[in-house]
Amino acid sequence: MKAFKLENEPKIESGFKTPDHYFENFSTKMMEQLPVSEPKVISIFQKRKTLIMMVAAVLVLALMIPILTPSSTNTKELDSTTLENYIAYQSNMNQYDLISVLEPEDINNINSTVVLEDEALEDLLTTNSNLEHLILE
């Protein structure tokens, strides 16, 4: 085999050549070719503004719930126990004033027969400490 020497053989030139001063002006030419448009900026305050608006909306809704929902505690009907307690303890009416106001139909409704067993009556009398008051009435 023949000895191969790189320095003595004719060299083949490549088909590519760089223009004169190509690398010196490369960065300025590249910057000229880039688009000038600026990147989109997202503000932090915009997200905070929507968060504040959502919190305010929830707060308004929470404050409107008691106003919009009908309340069952505001009924104007009185139960009989409350009325009896008021008449007995808070007013100056006695039993004779009540009887004078009643109509005959109301008196007939009151006169219904109540069947009491002896044991129930005995239990009531033994447990009630206010027997003298009941006897006097």
CB 134 within 8 A of CB 128: yes
Name the phi and psi angles at 59, rounded to 5.
-65, -40
Sketch the domain layout of the chain as residue ranges. Answer: 80-111
pLDDT band for position 2 (cuts 50, 70, 90): confident
pLDDT-based confidence at 54, cuts 50/70/90? very high
Residues 124 and 134 sit within 8 Å (Cβ to Cβ): no
DSSP label at 12?
P
At 75 the pLDDT is 60
Report the distance separating Cα 25 and Cα 32, nearest Å: 11
pLDDT of residue 134: 66
Average pLDDT over residues 62-84: 76
State which of 25-34, 53-62, 104-113 shows the largest mean pLDDT.
Answer: 53-62
